[in-house]
Amino acid sequence: MERKISRIHLTSEPNIAHFLQVSWEKTLESGFVITLTDGHSAWTGTVSESEISQEADDMAMEKGKYVDELRKALVSGAGPADVYTFNFSKESCYFFFEKNLKDVSFRLGSFNLEKVENPAEVIRELICYCLDTIAENEAKNEHLQKENERLLRDWNDVQGRFEKCVNAKEALETDLYKRFILVLNEKKTKIRSLHNKLLNTAQEQEKDIKQEGETTICSEMTADRDPVYDESTDEESENQPDPSGSASAAVSKDDSIISSLDVTDIAPSRKRRQRMQKNLGTEPKMAPQEHQLQEKEKKLEN
C-alpha cells in the first residue's frame, strides 16, 4: 500500500497544524483511505471508486482530469499553498477542500469521516511511518552521496586522463608536424634536383641535336663539293694523250735519253691537277703536260 502524509492548515483553525494521510492500494482512481489528525484526535474515512466517479460527474469533469486534481490537492501538494484550501467540521465530521482560481473558488471534493476511538494508535502509526520514511530517505541520501562521490572521483580520473590524452595528442601532433616538415623538405630537395637533372639532360640533348644538325649540314656540303672537284674540264680531256702515241713517244724518248751519256736520268715531273669550282663564265686554266715534256727534251738534246 502506498501512502502520502502532508501537513495542512484548516480554514477554521489556521493556527493548528493538522496531518492528512492518503493511502491507496493500486491507483488513486480505484479508491483511497483518508486519515486526519490534530495530534489529539483522529478521523478516518474510505473513498470508493464510485464516489470518485460521482464527484467527477457533479463537477462536470472527466474522471481522469478529476483524479489529477485530487492528486495535486491531497498527494502532490503542487502549486502555491493558497491554491487549495481545506476545512473540517468536527461536529459533523465533514471534510472538504476547494480550489482557488483568482477571484473564484469552487469545491473540489468532500468526504464524510468517522472519529477513531483509539487515536493514539493512528498517531503512533503515522509517527512510525514518518520515521521509517525519514530513515529510508537518509539511506537513499547516503547512497546517493556515496554514488556522487564515486562519480566525482571517476570524473576527476577521467578528466586527468583526458588532459593526459590531450597533452599526448598535442605532443604527437607536434612531433608528426616536425617529421612532416623534414619529409616535405627532403621531397622538395629531391624534386628540385630531379628538375635540375632533367633540365640539364634536356639542354645536353638540345646541344647534341644542334651538333648533329651542324655535322649533317657540313657532310652534305662536302658531298656536294666532291663531285665538282672530281670532274675534269674540257681542256683536260682534250690535252689527255693518246695511249698508242704516248707509248711510241715514250720509247723514242727513252732511246734518245739513253744514247746521250752526258745527261743525267731525270724523270719528268708532273704538276698536280688543280681543282677548282665551276663558276659561270670562268674556265680552269691548265698547263698541257706534253708541252712541258717537249720543252724538257729540247733542253736535254742541246
pLDDT of residue 302: 55
Burial class (CB in 10 A: 0-12, 13-18, 19+), 235: middle
pLDDT of residue 12: 83
CA distance 25 to 32: 7
The model's pLDDT over 139-190, given as tens digits with 9 standing for 90+, comes to 999 999 999 999 999 999 999 999 999 999 999 999 999 999 999 999 999 9
N-to-C CA span, the chain: 176
Q: Using the 8-state DSSP alphabet, how is residue 22 labeled?
A: E
pLDDT of residue 225: 59
Find the helix packing angle between 289-301 and 243-259, rounded to 10°.
20
Grid look-up 487515536 returns 119
CATH of the domain spanning 2-117, picked from 2.170.210.10, 3.40.640.10, 3.30.70.360, 3.40.50.2000: 2.170.210.10
pLDDT of residue 263: 42
* Domain chopping of the chain, boundaries: 2-117, 119-184
pLDDT of residue 13: 85
List per-block mean pLDDT (blocks of 10 residues) for the chain, which spans 302 residues.
84 86 85 88 88 84 86 72 82 86 80 88 89 92 94 93 93 93 92 91 87 77 57 49 46 45 43 46 49 65 57
The residue length of the chain stands at 302
Radius of gyration of the CA atoms of the chain, in A: 71
Beta bridge partners of 88: 95
pLDDT of residue 147: 94
Grid look-up 632533367 returns 198
